[in-house]
Amino acid sequence: MKLSDNGKILLKVTEEDINEEGSFDIPAGVSTIGEEAFRDCSKLKHLIIPEGVVSIKSSAFMYCSELQSIVIPPGVTSIEGYAFYGCSGIRSLVIPKGVNRIQIRTFHGCSGLESIIIPQGVTAIEFGAFYGCSRLQSIIIPEGVTSIGAGAFNGCSELQRISIPKGVSTIGNQSFMDCTRLQRITIPEQVTSINYEAFYRCSRLETITIQEGIISIDKSAFSECPRLQNIVIASQSEAVRERISGLLPKPLKNRVILKELAEEVFKFRDAELSRLVQIPETNPLFRFFHMKSRHSSRVSGENGVEQECRKLPVELLQTINCFSDDNRYYQKARRHIMRLTLPANAEALQDYKNKVTAIVNECVSKAKEFTHHVNAAKDQGSIHRAEESRTRVALIR
């Protein structure tokens, strides 16, 4: 261990200084944990920073990959950039109230971080602050934050919910890139620009709500977002809708809808699609189980005694069908519906509804027709063996 001459700065801690429990006692009188003080201390697992420490310098705990828990006292007012860079073992952290900035790459690569509490006094989340925090599922950003830097949440692949404060004016470059579980987000009204690749590769993003004050949207802001189907404009003005549509790349222009129409459109669309999960014939799993149970059949139980297979109840088959990812008719209908241009106004709403209903009706009809054909082939004993042997399941009474 090395201290400054006055004993107030902890300059360096080595592996030899870490005790058998993976901890270290910071000496009394230390007020600053120096730059790279614990860097590469792979033996460090637990640390309680004592009262009196007010500052944690840049890269202080960089690459302490086995560090699992750390307690930071309320007196700390500064945590500099890269402080916990690569600390992949930390699960949770509370940032003291006196800290007013999450500096550059402070928690970059903290891939084990699941929860973090950011105090109300924080006003800025800087470049790459939470880059690669791949287990972080939700985070509450205080209302006082006015700046979210480039790449701040890049690679937070488990992030499902995030609320952007009203004071933020810009969504920076790659801020939410690769947030692959993010499904919906609302851009606050003070935001005027959404920058380069801000939501790039957010593969599950379905709905984004944009306020009428937006001025610029980079053409790559929503690139590689294959499920983005609803861009809701929080305005009643068709002129605003047209203006914002003009900011978007061509593939997204037909996905813009005014907020006053959005609720009715989404409710109707979901109701129509739900018909395809309420009809057992639309699911190949239904066909398998139904064919197995249409005729009386017998199987040998564990004791070798033959027992009759009972027909699966329709309610159970409908439950099976609710797994819509396995329902090719549901998926086909959804794809076709999502290609439709969302209605620009109330006059276009009925035409849109008619098209949605027609798509669903066609898929229902084809599903029933195919199931009838398969059942007929089974009755004739000519069903292909490959389909029959996919799964051999017998429900024993």
Decide if pLDDT at 284 tops 90.
Answer: no
Relative to beta strand 69-71, strand 92-94 is: unpaired
> Does 348 reside within a domain?
yes
Token pair for residue 137? 């599922």
How many distinct structural domains can be found in the chain? 1
Question: What's the pLDDT tens digit per position in 178-232?
Answer: 999 999 999 999 999 999 999 999 999 999 999 999 999 999 999 999 999 999 9
Q: How confident is the model at residue 390 (pLDDT cuts 50, 70, 90)?
A: very low
> Does 347 reside within a domain?
yes
Task: Judge whether 242 and 258 are in contact, CB under 8 Å.
Answer: no
Q: Domain limits at 307?
A: 273-388
> Does 119 reside within a domain?
no
Residues in CB range of 206: below 8 A, 6 or more apart = 183, 184, 227, 228, 229, 230
Question: What's the pLDDT tens digit per position in 7-60?
Answer: 999 999 999 999 999 999 999 999 999 999 999 999 999 999 999 999 999 999
Question: What's the pLDDT tens digit per position in 85-127?
Answer: 999 999 999 999 999 999 999 999 999 999 999 999 999 999 9
> Does 360 reside within a domain?
yes
> Does 298 reside within a domain?
yes
> Does 334 reside within a domain?
yes
> Does 335 reside within a domain?
yes
